[in-house]
Amino acid sequence: MAHIQRKHSLIGVGCWIQGLGLLLFVAAVWLRGLVGIIVAFVILVALFVVGSRLSYQHICSNCGNRVPGKYVKICPVCKEKLE
């Protein structure tokens, strides 16, 4: 019986969102506005959290393909029953 695994991806949407936050923060530091730096830092932290959450995906342990969610009972590709 297969189970659902969490897989971390270093490239993808999560990485792009984190890079966007870092670019925004660097631009705010370059413009040297204190309020802008504080706001950009808050946005940077929020985008890092969102990007980190998006960098994980659920995969089937039997075939290694993506599963739409962690509560799926049957793998859509190999039709194996998931725990």
- 33-64 pLDDT tens trace: 888 888 888 999 999 999 888 888 888 888 88
Q: Which two tokens stand for residue 49?
A: 């959290």
> Could you tell me if 81 and 74 are in contact, meaning their C-beta atoms sit under 8 angstroms apart?
yes
Q: Which two tokens stand for residue 6?
A: 């969490």
Could you tell me which of 67, 57, 61 has the C-alpha nearest to residue 76? Answer: 67
Where along the chain do its domains lie?
1-83
Place of tokens 């530091």: 29
- 4-41 pLDDT tens trace: 888 877 788 888 999 899 998 898 888 878 888 888 88
User: Residue 8: enclosing H or E segment and its boundaries?
Assistant: strand 4-8
> Could you tell me if 14 and 49 are in contact, meaning their C-beta atoms sit under 8 angstroms apart?
no
